[in-house]
Structure 1
Amino acid sequence: MSRSRLLALLPLTAALSGCDLVVLNPSGDVASQQGQLVVVSTLLMLLIIVPVMALTVLFAWRYRQSNTKARYEPEWDHSTQLELVIWAAPLLIIIVLGALTWMTTHLLDPYRPIERIAANRPVPAEAKTLEIDVVALDWKWLFLYPEYGIAAVNEVAAPVDRPIRFNITSSSVMNSFYIPALAGQIYAMPGMQTQLHAVINQPGAYKGFSANYSGAGFSGMRFTFHGMVDGGFERWVSEVKAGGGALDRNGYLQLERPSENEPVRRYGTVEAGLFKAILNMCVEPGKMCMNDMAAIDARGGLGMAGIHITMPLLYDKHARRGAVFGPEPRDVIGICTVAELVPELVPDLVADLAAPEPAPELAAPLLGAGLPRPSTP
């Protein structure tokens, strides 16, 4: 590269020198520990990379063709000392990196509640974790505060030095929740809940965004995370409650529709159980929740096939050999309660359930494989 081009790049270098590398200079303790891990791992690897690069240049210069003073040993093929250096040094680095990775994988597990606010500052015994439910929508972020009954779109706030637990899910496609100043990225998946524990140590406004491509509006899927002192956070909550709208299931279904570059919205009230319905994909009226469906499947499902599924196996010792351990075999007989039925729609069925007729006497009891003898009133 010519000298003139190098001089032309100097202003760009000066501009880049003022950049704030948030990953290596974060404001949250979890992100700070992750940044330290990156630095330590890089330095450990450089212990091998730098000498190798330096020795490559040194050998190329020392044993060049024009250097007649260098040792010339065409029959050389082995050196025990050199083999020890070549293999021992990288092996030691790998062992150290492996131990470091194993420890930090457990200590910085996003599902693990934090044990300290900052270095040499453990979490106070009376500290209460702030719960924030996060929903990745197309293409925006919804944050719900179950403790305060409020919500916001593309805006989230938390007090300084207070443990935070994010409960994260998605409405449609997989996404990734990431606030570089706070902690690492965590995936958001529909029908599943992931968690992230973190803490912010300095007040300020920090950028958050999606780190996983999710469609046309992905580039505008950004939000602001506000780290606030206690008084500022309480004022923010009061402002949201006073000036925000109401978010119910119908409102969420409208909000869920794909839209790009959404402005900040605030909701002063949130319908109870909304996040649970979002997580179980049953916000729409009349739709069975995923957890209820899973519970039915765990009991054998519905229909004749489900009855057979609930029958115990012949070699099942808990059900067939008189053992006292284990639950009794059960099968699903319905997916709603009498109280859930609408009398106007099914008056005859409700009347029958309210006053059932006695079963007729059976000449011979009906028995089936694995089914108990029917009782006669």
Structure 2
Amino acid sequence: MELSVEQAAELRELVNSRDVPADIATRGRIVLWSGKGRRRKDIAELLGVSLPTVDRWKARYAERGLAGLEGERPGGAREQMPARVRSRVIALTRMTPPAGTGLSHWSTRELAKYLARTENIVVSWHYIARIWREESLKPHRSGTFKISKDPAFAEKAADVIGLYLAPPGGAVVLSIDEKTQIQALDRTQPVLPVAFAATGKRTADYVRHGTTNLFAALNVTTGEVLGECRPTRNGKDFLTFLKKAVKPHAGKDIHVVLDNLSTHTTWEVKEWLSKNPHVHFHFTPVGSSWLNQIEIWFGILTRQSIRRGTFSSVHVLVKQIRDYINSWNTTAKPFTWTATAGEVLAKARLVATNMKKIVNNNSN
């Protein structure tokens, strides 16, 4: 059976979670290994199950997704949640997580924890995952539309989109951001049934070897990317990369699209900007990093080069990223931005209105 990138990531999260019962993790591993092309006979032998068991859980997953791996619960039919709980899950999923959470988007587990902590609503992450599938909600997908609480959303969005649709003549537009804590994972460690029996714990099928931080700048006009991996990410690192990014465009006005990280507004950065008036910063609205085109490229890099890779060291990971950037630049093409500022603002107003209706209905 074939699995999408999102399905494989979801299954890996399930089988490596300490909060998931061992039987469900085993079912998830059956599906995950099948998706990787392992023979059913080998899967059955490694996990200590029968061939019909392998077939059953593959079929259940194909039919119902993760919910199909839960099996039949003893004691009758599954408990039905009130409609208001379902509505609340949907409403929160479509919103940007509150600033205090430190999250850029919801995961099923984080949303379940948030509901229990703040609203005394106790649901499992399986329940939330099922709702997401039924409603086609994918908050983890790059580009998912989120509502910004920035009071200057309209002005900032129009400013950034204006650069994409009608860049100043002769000027260079760079989209810059950092992808932090990219993990070097060795995904070759086997998981054997004996590990369960001896320790009572599931052994992860990967080993972490460290992390790196990727600074990247996308030339909006050409689609070319300049990238640099660093072990740290602070204001000094950002300024060093910024100087490197603008150096090839000396003598031109340079417009830089950024998000609202503190590392982008340190006093060193502000002092450098005052001495380089040809460089202009344009900040995306708070909670709206999806407006920054480099985020699109980060998503492509993750899907095509990092997510399924095996990296025995940070050095190997960094080389993989460098090779990918070099390959990308040989056939680089700019992203085509089609949405006008008016269209984005209209959608924002529509989503905000719908969310307000849902919240009001839940409170009645």
- TM-score (normalizing by structure 1): 0.24
Q: Which has the higher contact order (CA 8 A, sep 6+)?
A: 2
Q: Report which of the two has the higher share of helix.
A: 2
Relative to total residues, which structure has the larger strand share, 1 or 2? 1
Larger Rg computed on CA atoms: 1
* Length-normalised TM-score, structure 2: 0.24
